[in-house]
Structure 1
Amino acid sequence: MTLKKRIIMIFLFSSLIPFISIGLISYYTIYSILTNKIQSGIQSNLKQVELSLEGTISNLNHVSQQLAFEGSVGKKLDQLLSSTDSQPYERVKMKSNLKDELSLITFTNPSIGLTLYYFQNDHSYDLENSGVKNSFSPEQLPLLAQYSGISYYGPHVSNNSFDNQYVLSALRKVELPNRDDVYVYIETGFHLTQSILNNDQTGVKNSHIFLDNDGRIAYSELPDTYAMDTIFPGIENGKSSGSQNGFYWFRQESNQGWSIVSVIPKADYNKEMNRWFVQILLFSLVFLGMSLFLAWLLWKMVYRPLSGFNKEIKLMAQNRIQSGIAKTRIPEFDYLLDQFRQMKVQIWELFAEVEQKEKRRVDLEVEKLLYQINPHFLMNTLDTVHWLAVMNGQIEIDRLVTSLNKLLHYNLGKLGQASTIQEEIEALRQYLILQQIRYDFQFDVQIHVDEEVLKMPIPRFILQPLVENSLYHGLSDDGFIRVEVKLTQTITISIHDNGSGMSEEFIQNLLNNSEVENRKVGMGIGMNYVKRMIDSQYGERAKLEINSVIGKGTSILLSLPLSEVEPNHDKSNGC
């Protein structure tokens, strides 16, 4: 997969995953809020409708109680019905008084509409306060509830000849002593029931269904879906809400046992949620487009610097240096390009330095070979002298030849080949034995080496030229040489003597001019060799210091880094 595709995918994932997560959380949160809001509003509205209807029914009960036998009007009705036809004047007067009292009661109760007394046996009525339709028949009205001798009906169309609105009504037995077929019939006032049902504050289109005490539909605003005189489905287990036939329904049961159900089409119920979902979807599409556009811009910003890097790498592969400095106008990439160019310059400088060091190493090889005159023949000859000295009992000559042979075997090894500090110390000891036999004065040599450095690698032929320098520069009979090898953060080699000392000018000439040194040193490999060797092997990580005071002595300090070379015990040069 290309970097461009990866950038676009990562950018999309990093942008869309948080957005989708927030969107899902918001969706479920808002869905829950809206659902709770709608359901709470519907339940609250249903509760208000139920309380209003209960109040209306309670008022019907209260007014009917005044018109029953227990009330004053009921007693007067009993007197009217008990009077004989022989007293027409008294009957007219009593009837007039009853109408006045009925008018007063209905006037003081504005929520009361049509009121009359109904005689069940002959299906007649009397004392009505308004005109009555010819089709009036309480037995045909939809029964809503029935308890305590009172039957409640509705909602149904009013029996008032001047009103076609839906009303609630009550039919109560008057309980007269002489007749048991007399009932008082009362309806709610004009528009009262309709205003209660239309008092909807939920903001959604809903319809109402009234259920009687048995769950039968007594009134339905959706007769095609929920027909009257049928059992409302879904309330068998006492549920207060549910969904059916493309509608959501919510039920509120009254204290008298009847129920009112609010039915809402699912499309209307989810309208607000769907509107919010469409808005989120449109916003998501806009956000997706912006993410793709930003990913493309990001790719363009990365592509241009990458092209610059590619160009620099090609120039580096072609061993060319960029003439002009191109800028990406992005500080971070400009900084990286500058660093890359500096690195390229440093690489070429390093190549030149390595080439120079390798040339110096070859020169050292050639220089050493110039002084190795047939080493195999020389060591074989010395071995013959050794056995002749043994046969003739020349112990001193035997000791001299043995030490010289060991020293030559070590020193004539391959230049630059690594050795160990232990091997270097042993070669130094053989060299000192030869020097003590060679010269006619005695000098003291002290060698102290830490145990942990004995097996550590070190370039071959490092210590002898340093000690040789102390012997050739003014060491007398009472002189001493102290050699110390310690392990700190580096390998520290120090050589101290109490010779005549050297001037600073002589020290610099000794380190930098091999010809001056070679005239005095028998092996021809001295301080200048050591300096060039450590420069070739370690570079600036090694340090060689010479401190000398005229008439007091000289101190040489050599510091080498750890684990730079591996020891090689190849004895191929032996004979």
Structure 2
Amino acid sequence: MLSLLRDSIKGRMIVILLLSSVVPLALIGSMSYYSFHSFMENKLKHGINENVKKELVSLDNILKNMNFASQQLALDKTITSRIQEYLTTDDQIRKTDILLLVQDRMSLINYTSPYAGVLALVDAKDNHAFIQSYPIMDKITMFDNPLLLEANGVSYFAPHRSTDKYNNDNTEVFSIVRKVNDFDTNSSFYVYTESNFNTLKRLFENVQYGEPVKHLLLDAKNRIVFSEDRTNFPLYAQFKMEDQISDDLRFIASSEQGWKIAVIMKGDAFQKEINSWLGKFVTVGLFTLLLSLLLAYICWRTVYRPLHVFRREIEWVGDNPSYRPQKWLRLREFDEVLGRFYAMKERVFDLLKEIERREKARSNVEVEKLRHQINPHFIHNTLNTVQVIAKMNKQNEIVKLITHFTRILHYNLGKEGTHVRVQEEVDNINDYMALQSIRYSHQFEVQMEVDPSTLDVLIPRFVLQPLVENAIYHGFRNQDGTISVRIEPHTGGGITMCVSDNGEGMSEERLQSLLEEKHPDSRSVGMGIGLSFVHRLIQAYYGESSGLRIESKLGVGTAITIEIWTGKGGEQP
């Protein structure tokens, strides 16, 4: 890779332009990144610490406001005496009057206290609420809630589910519990005060400086009594200011009474603003690099591209010697050289076409030479058959035999051309089979299935008879059987010819030997034209990828298939 950049014009241009852009950009970027990172880290930490302190002050004010609301019921002698009377009297009318009086005071407290929600008076004996400002649960388990603080006989509880009877959303609220004792009547009750439903939502900001945070409330012993992330920070677990396992950021503020607010932020929170700056910087950097690459591309088009075009043209001539449109560079010096190259290329292509024409003509001559070779033994055997028949004085059979034999010789030695219609090839097969049925004593049936649409299609002369002859000599071996000749259109635009028999079949090794010209199993019989000749004939007209396809199973039979394409000039498309 280094050698390519060092030893080429294109590589050197790219390196010089990139260095002139990247080095100043890297220096400026590193300095600004360090300054920006330091500023963002200090700013974010300081801002979150201030927010935590504000939330602490807000929560302290909420608790004080709720405490004040409870004091209006617990420390007012008039109200407490009425409540004690309510608990001790059996006069239902008097109880109703006291109930209405206390509920009016509760309504006034709710109206004047912005954070007060449910107010309830709870019997200390059975925790049953006997007077409340809103419908609540019949029994209140106040002391099962997580305790935030206990001071001066008042218990402050961290957020928990509201006792409101219609709290279907499981809204969490703060609550305080104050116990009121009457030593004269030896009775006591609790003043239970909840914050309203919006208190918790307005108190904690779950997104600070664009980053999500989780809030925790800790008691004086640093136990978690409220958690917005109970998976990682379960209730009543001991909170550690620094956790070596976790990489989150922790901010904490303590109240005068000892309880605390903690804010947990993901460890990568500082990276948001830095990543935003990096995105802008990378955008500018990429633009600069793209500009450098554009300049390098312009230089390359001016100097290097013509050399590349020369190389591609030379490679094309060597790898694919066919016609290709001429490509001009619109640069006078290079176009002059290209013009001379194209002239030389045209001359080379003309010479190649002439050589190809001569080779094809020689191939056609060899094919014609093979076609006119007839095994003399066939003529000798046929004449012997004529002689035997003549001795038996069967004149009609002699005429029939000579007629079929004459047609076969005429078809084989015909000069009409290299290709014939399918109809002519089928007629020749019929003559051949008639001749063989007279000559051999065993019976074999020939079934012809020829699609009428294929009768006028041109095919190479003498391709079917060797296939039928192979079925007779190698398939049956003097046994009875059936030969099937099927000719039908091919979906690819030609025809398919298949000759099959139900004879002995043959092994895979023998199948291959039939197509080998010099193998003993490929010796000619009958007319002297073997399968190897047909195979080479098909390949001569349709290319090396064509030929015979033979399928055979021992004891089942053999099928030989030829696919003939009917494109222009009879060549395969």
Q: Structure 1-normalised TM-score?
A: 0.45
